[in-house]
Amino acid sequence: MLEFGVMNSAGFTVITGEIGCGKTTLVRYLLRKLDDHVTACLISNTPRSQDGLLAWVMMSLNQPFEGSYPALFKQFQRFLHDQFSRGRRTILIVDEAQNLGMEALEELRMLSNVNTDKQQFLQIILVGQPQLKDLLRAPQLLQFAQRVSSDFHLRPMNADEVSEYIDFRLRAVGSHSELFTADACKIIADTSRGIPRTINILCDTALVYGFAAGVDQITAELVDTVIQNKAQFGVLPFGLQAV
């Protein structure tokens, strides 16, 4: 959906998902794939109000970001028109966009008014937690929501996908055997609730435990030990105890 939004000049693209589901990873993947005719800028530390939002946008574009709002807006328009005249597209990506709030989102909508029916000077991609989706469904942001032409919500993986994900990551670094048993993968899926970041943490720690124990395969019993130790001594709130 990210690529679809870029290729079809979507005014707004929205990607949401739980913490640790891989939203930022997808954004980085997209940035690597963009061609040389795209000017892409990323705001990862989102301001919590509309104050200074345009300055953050200008800073992400490597443009001067000091001055009054009218002066910055004029400079912003000039930059976009210059990029367009040279055959380039400008894409603004806002990560953790749930922190923007209604006023800042409305300002982003107003900034998108630089686009016309025939000319798309600016594309905006918003990436955030589920609160962003809830925020955009508010009646006050109906005009904004109507401009979102490409959107997707990343869900956690199911048990089968977790097992495939673990095997894929192991093969990617050269493994030629199934290091995690089926029961171990099931426990990891249940405990992580299918969140990739948590899966990574559990698997990395299990591999360290397995190496220390000198075993050839990560079993359910070894994963149980990892979860018990993390529940007792770690900082992550593992809601499910080992089985």
What residue ranges of the chain are covered by domains with CATH 3.40.50.300? 2-154
Task: State how far the alpha carbon of 75 is from the alpha carbons of 85, 91, 111, 113, 132, in Å.
Answer: 15, 17, 12, 15, 29
Only one residue has tokens 């997209």, namely 30
Residue pLDDT, tens place only, 19-34: 999 998 999 999 888 8
Sheet architecture: strand order including 148-154: 38-43, 89-94, 122-128, 12-17, 148-154
Task: Give the confidence band of 240 by pLDDT, cuts at 50, 70, 90.
Answer: very low
Q: Closest by alpha carbon to 110, among 6, 11, 2, 32? A: 11
Q: DSSP secondary structure string, 5-67?
A: HHHTT-SEEEEEE-TTSSHHHHHHHHHHH--TTEEEEEE-S--SSSTTHHHHHHHHTTS---S
Contact status, residue 70 vs residue 76, Cβ threshold 8 Å:
no
Only one residue has tokens 């007792």, namely 232
- Mean of pLDDT over the chain: 89
pLDDT of amino acid 241: 43
What residue ranges of the chain are covered by domains with CATH 1.10.8.60? 159-233
Res. 218: pLDDT tops 70: yes
Percent with pLDDT over 70 in the chain = 95
This prediction's pTM: 0.84
HSE-up (13 A, CA, CB side) for residue 53: 21
Look at the domain 159-233 and name its fold: Helicase, Ruva Protein; domain 3 (1.10.8)
Residue pLDDT, tens place only, 140-198: 999 989 989 889 999 999 999 999 999 999 999 999 888 999 999 999 999 999 999 99
Q: pLDDT: is 118 or 150 the higher one?
A: 150
Spell out a b/e string for 185-213, using b for 16 or more CB atoms within 10 Å of the CB, else e. Answer: bbbbbebbbbbbebbebbbebbbebbeee
- Per-residue pLDDT, averaged over 61-69, amounts to 89
Per CATH, the homologous superfamily of domain 2-154 is P-loop containing nucleotide triphosphate hydrolases (3.40.50.300)
Res. 112: pLDDT tops 80: yes
